[in-house]
Amino acid sequence: MAALRIFPFLSVFLLLVHQSFAKNDAPCLLSNWNNAFNTFMKRHIRSGTPTTLDQNQWMNYIRNNGGCSRPTQSFLHPNDLDKVKAVCTPKGGAVYKDNLCISWQPFTFITVRSEQGTCGIKSIREETKHLILGCDKLSNQCLPVHFEGNPDNIKPGNNAKGCQDPSTGDAPSFKLTWLCLLSVLLIIILCQN
């Protein structure tokens, strides 16, 4: 009988924990991870990246910058920073899914694949594709926080909505999540009577 009373509380706790660690369900929602944009910059738009496809230069660069634990890494040119940030706006990108936006225009970037833990380089490719970026609101600005691979070179649809703040009404929000949470709380209250 005691287990039945603990179950509702445990369910609510798990829902709340899931909510706090889950990625946003729409672009440009407020993020709990304040350092996400800086991490994105450190991983994908660094100054000093090699300008060639030379395997030795890239191996040294990745080894010296602590990237050996990531088997696939993509590097955008630092001069493209403003255009990359614009992907998280209606002018630069379209809503793709969840908190992801896809760029209206293709970008050229370098993808390095390495042997995890060893920094041994498997391949280095210059690619030109539409970027798919996770976009979250940080310090009142919607910024890229995640680089999603685009192996099938997906392009935004002609009728796709621009990437933007969900408060404008053009992107989904957390309303359904909060409705579910309120429903669970109501069930708990009713079960205890």
Per-residue pLDDT tens digits for 143-169: 999 999 999 999 999 899 999 856 554
23-34: per-residue pLDDT in tens? 788 999 998 888
Q: How confident is the model at residue 60 (pLDDT cuts 50, 70, 90)?
A: very high
What's the pTM? 0.76
Distance CA 159, CA 59 (A): 42
User: Which burial class, exposed, middle or buried, applies to 107 when counting CB atoms under 10 A from its CB (0-12, 13-18, 19+)?
Assistant: middle
pLDDT reported for residue 41: 97
Nearest to 149 by CA among 109, 183, 187, 121: 109
Quick one: pLDDT at residue 149?
95
Pairing of strands 72-76, 100-115: antiparallel
CA angle 33, 130, 77 (to 5 degrees): 70
pLDDT band at 184 (very low <50, low <70, confident <90, very high): low
| Those residues with Cβ within 8 angstroms of residue 19's Cβ, 6 or more apart along the chain or in another chain | 177, 181
The predicted pLDDT at position 190 comes to 57
